[in-house]
């Protein structure tokens, strides 16, 4: 199964790549990431394009970046995705993999958009009764390393911005926050783990609040922030 992986730059996408490799029935052909074109950052996660490219190099897969405007209407987003799906089918891809964990509406949306397209959706991590605390601990125990790049200050304290996704973080998260942040409480950038061929060198930069979210910048060493 030649598979296009939806790559957000975060821990769940990284763990999905690891899971697919362990399964052995899906050959990963490329990573797909939507990019906030004006900012040149991963949509929502706000990870710099150069960090994203370093991730792809460390994973050993081609990177398909899809630029979208900001703000972006649903119509523009879906048209961009239709073009990507057409390209994937033309290049022999048969499946598209997503790192969703338990949100049924998100899964149903992806299945509806891909119905009849020539790409079959895969959800390697999905389970409606997923034990996300256990999953988070499993990721960390396996060596997955990531940092929080974006958080919603309405649901968790700003002090978590830039923190490592580790056991200490899990012990401090309030009970209302899902340990894997499946409801968008926070987003991460993965930089090391069994899915990478080598560690992605990142440094933690400044933290800012914008558009109702708190963002922490990650940079490649020896590169000055914009």
171-185 residue pLDDT tens? 999 999 999 999 999
pLDDT value at residue 130: 64
Average pLDDT taken over every residue of the chain = 93
66-117 residue pLDDT tens? 999 988 899 999 999 999 999 999 999 999 999 999 889 999 999 999 999 9
How far apart, in whole angstroms, are the C-alpha atoms of residue 166 and residue 171? 9
Count other C-beta atoms under 10 Å from residue 226's C-beta. Answer: 8
How far apart, in whole angstroms, are the C-alpha atoms of residue 114 and residue 112? 6
Determine phi and psi for 223, rounding to 5 degrees: -115, 125
User: Domain locations in the chain?
Assistant: 2-219
Helix (H) or strand (E) holding 217: strand 213-219
Q: The domain at 2-219 falls in which architecture?
A: 3-Layer(aba) Sandwich (3.40)
How far apart, in whole angstroms, are the C-alpha atoms of residue 33 and residue 14? 13
């Amino acid at each position: 199964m030649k598979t296009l992986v939806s790559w957000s730059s975060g821990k769940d996408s990284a763990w999905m790549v690891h899971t697919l490799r362990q399964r052995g029935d899906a050959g990963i052909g490329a990573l797909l990431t939507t990019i906030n074109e004006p900012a040149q950052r991963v949509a929502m996660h706000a990870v710099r394009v150069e960090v994203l490219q370093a991730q792809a190099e460390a994973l050993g897969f081609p990177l398909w970046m899809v630029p979208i405007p900001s703000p972006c209407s649903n119509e523009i987003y879906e048209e961009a995705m239709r073009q990507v799906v057409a390209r994937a089918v033309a290049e022999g891809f048969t499946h598209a993999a997503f790192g969703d964990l338990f949100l049924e509406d998100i899964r149903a949306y992806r299945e509806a958009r891909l119905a009849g397209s020539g790409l079959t959706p895969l959800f390697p991590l999905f389970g409606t009764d997923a034990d996300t605390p256990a999953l988070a601990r499993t990721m960390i125990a396996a060596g997955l390393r990531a940092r929080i790049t974006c958080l919603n200050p309405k649901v968790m304290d700003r002090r978590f911005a830039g923190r490592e996704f580790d056991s200490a973080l899990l012990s401090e998260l309030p009970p209302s926050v899902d340990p894997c942040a499946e409801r968008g409480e926070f987003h991460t950038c993965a930089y090391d783990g069994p899915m990478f061929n080598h560690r992605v060198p990142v440094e933690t930069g400044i933290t800012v609040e914008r558009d109702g979210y708190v963002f922490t910048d990650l940079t490649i060493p020896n590169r000055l922030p914009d």
